[in-house]
Structure 1
Amino acid sequence: MTDRPKLTTSAGAPWPNNQDSLSAGKRGPVLMQDYQLIEKLAHQNRERIPERTVHAKGWGAHGKLVITGDISKYTKAKALQPGAETPMIARFSTVAGEQGAADHERDVRGFALKFYTEDGNWDMVGNNTPVFFVRDPYKFPDFIHTQKRHPKTNMRSPTAMWDFWSLSPEALHQVTILMSDRGLPQSPMHMNGYGSHTYSFWNDAGERYWVKFHFKTQQGHTFYTNAEAEQVIGKTREGYQERLFNTIEGGDYPRWKFQVQIMPEADAEKTAYNPFDLTKVWPHSEYPPIDVGYFELNRNADNYFTEIENAAFSPSNIVPGISWSPDKMLQARIFSYADAHRHRLGTHYETIPVNRPRCPVHHYHRDGEMNMYGGLASGNENAYYEPNSYNGALEDRSATEPPLRIDGDAARYDHTEYDDYLQVRELYAKVMNDDERARLHGNMGGAMVGVPTEIVERWFGHLKQVDPRYEAGVRAEWEKQSRDAGYDPNALPITGATPQTTKGDSAHGLPGMSHAAE
Structure 2
Amino acid sequence: MTKRYLTSNQGTTVIDDQHSLTVGERGPILLADTVYFEKTAQFDREKVPERVFHAKGAGAFGYFVPYKSFDFLTQAKFLQNPEKATPVFTRFSVAGGSAGGADTVRDVRGFAVKFYTEEGNYDLICNHVPVFPLRDPLQFADFVHAVKPDPVTNARGGPIAASRFWDFMSLRPESMNFLIYLFSDIGTVKSYRTIQGFGVNTYKWINLHGEEWYVRYCWEPCAGVEYIDSKTATQLAGTDPDVASRDLFDTIAAGESVEFEMRIQTIKVEFECDQQFDILDPTLIWPENLFPLIPVGRMVLNKNPENYFAEVEQSAFSPAAIVPGIDFSNDRVLQGRIFPYGDTQRYRIGTNYLELPVNMPRSHVDNKMQDGFMQIKCNADIANYLPNTLNGGMPAWAPEKGKPSQEYVSGSVGRQEIPGDNYYQPGYRYRSMSGLEKKHLVSNIIESLSLAYEPIQRRMIGHFMRTDSELGNRIAQGLNLNI
Q: TM-score, normalised by structure 1?
A: 0.80
Residue equivalent to 2:31: none
Native 8 Å contact 2:184 2:437 kept in 1 = yes
Say whether the 8 Å CA contact 2:189–2:233 is kept in structure 1: no
Matched with 1:106 is 106
1:420 maps to 2:422: yes
Distance in 2, matches of 1:82 and 1:444, equals: 47
SS in 2 for 1:459: helix
Whole-Å Cα distance in 1 between the matches of residues 120 and 456 of structure 2? 48
Preserved contact between residue 278 and residue 327 of structure 1 (Cα < 8 Å): yes
- Are the counterparts in 2 of residues 129 and 194 from structure 1 also a CA contact under 8 Å? yes
Given that residues 111 and 128 in structure 2 are in contact (C-alpha distance below 8 angstroms), is that contact kept between their aligned partners in structure 1? Answer: yes
**SS of the counterpart of 2:479?**
helix
Cα distance between partner residues in 2 of 1:295 and 1:406: 37
Q: Structure 2: how far apart are the matches of 1:320 and 1:419?
A: 34
> Which of 297, 308, 314 is the matching residue for 1:310?
314
Q: CA deviation at 1:70?
A: 3.7
Alignment partner of 1:404 is 2:404: no
Q: Partner residue of 2:340?
A: 336
Contact kept? 2:186, 2:228, Cα under 8 Å:
no
Residue pairs, 1:229-240, within 5 angstroms: 229-240=233-244
For residue 248 of structure 1, report the CA deviation from its aligned partner: 0.7
| Separation in structure 2 between the aligned mates of residue 219 and residue 444 of structure 1, nearest angstrom | 29
Q: Secondary structure at the match of 1:354?
A: coil
**2:377 alignment partner, SS class:** coil
What corresponds to 2:291 in structure 1? 287
Of structures 1 and 2, the one with the larger relative CO (CA 8 A, separation 6+) is: 2
Write out aligned runs for 1:120-131 (5 A): 120-131=120-131
Report the more deviating stretch, 229-238 or 256-265.
229-238
Structure 1 pair 200–146 and aligned structure 2 pair: CA distance change class (3 A): same
Aligned-partner Cα distance in 1 for 2:289–2:336: 30
- On the 8 A contact 1:421/1:465 being kept in 2, the answer is yes
**Is this contact kept in 2: 1:253–1:297, CA < 8 A?**
yes
Match of 2:250 among 220, 237, 246: 246
Report the alpha carbon displacement of residue 290 of structure 1 after superposing the two structures with TM.
0.8
Cα separation, 2, equivalents of 1:478 and 1:322: 48
For 2:268 and 2:415, the matched residues in 1 are separated by 27
Per-residue CA deviations over 1:163-221 (Å, capped at 9, x if unaligned) read 01011110000111000011112211110001110000011011111100111111112
Separation in 2 of the partners of 1:301 and 1:452? Answer: 45
Q: Deviations over 1:363-387 (max 9, x none)?
A: 110111121103x3xxx52231111
Q: How far off its partner does 1:236 sit?
A: 1.8
**What runs of 5+ residues in structure 1 fail to find an aligned partner?**
1-49, 480-488, 491-518
Q: Which amino acid aligns with 1:184?
A: T
Structure 2 CA distance, aligned partners of 1:92 and 1:252? 18
One-letter amino acid of the structure 2 residue matched with residue 458 of structure 1: R
Any stretches of 5+ residues in structure 2 without a counterpart? 1-48
Match for residue 40 of structure 1? none
Note the aligned Cα RMSD (angstroms). Answer: 1.4
**Counterpart mapping for 1:62-101 below 5 A:** 62-83=61-82, 84-101=84-101
What's the CA shift for 1:473? 2.0
Partner of 1:198: 202
Residues 82-101 of structure 1: per-residue CA shift (max 9 Å, x gap) = 41310000001011111101
Matches within 5 A, 1:440-451: 440-451=441-452
Shift, 1:405, TM fit: 4.0
CA contact under 8 A between 1:69 and 1:291: conserved in structure 2? no
Counterpart residue number, 1:139: 139
Query: How many percent identity over aligned positions?
Result: 36
Contact 1:66-1:295 at 8 Å conserved across structures: yes
Q: Distance in 1 between matches of 2:374 and 2:407?
A: 34
Counterpart Cα distance in 1 of 2:210 and 2:188: 42
Residue of structure 2 equivalent to 1:462? 463
Partner of 2:11: none
